[in-house]
Amino acid sequence: MSSNCTEREELKAKVIDIHAKSRCSAGSRTISAQLKVEGVFVGRFLMKEAGIVSKQARKHKYKASGQSALIAANELKRELKVKQPNQVWCGDITFIWAGTRWLYLAVVLDLYARRVVGWSMST
């Protein structure tokens, strides 16, 4: 086997090593830049030869609902001055990204005391 083939196999091994250390996310530009620091110049063909492909995490896509939501009647008519506790409650739902998944937080407030009456969190 010629020295040229041996060098190519060593380069392939370096490319595979860099790709594995990046958890398979490094592409040809990243690998090329890292090897350029070492004084080695390679192109994307070497990645193809090694049979590796960059895997990028996809962003979460929101789906539009097919139906419009029912709208509740406005019973308060923007008069939020409540005279007694536990007469008017309001609620809200929010989504919290927790690194790998969404958490859903629902909160109910008493408008008189402006305090949390109850809450729930789920996945």
Tokens read off for 16: 């595979």
Q: Average pLDDT of each block of 10 consecutive residues along the chain (123 residues)?
A: 76 84 83 86 79 80 78 81 89 92 95 93 92
pTM of the model: 0.44
Residue 18 lies in a domain: yes
Total domain count for the chain?
2
CA-based radius of gyration for the chain = 29
Taking the C-alpha atoms of residue 27 and residue 15, their distance in angstroms, rounded to an integer, is 10
Q: For the segment 7-17, what is each residue's pLDDT rounded down to a tens digit?
A: 888 888 888 88
Q: Output the pLDDT for position 8.
A: 81
Q: Which residue segment(s) compose the domain that 11 sits in? A: 3-50
Residue 75 lies in a domain: no
Q: Output the pLDDT for position 14.
A: 84
Residue 28 lies in a domain: yes
Tokens read off for 15: 């490319």
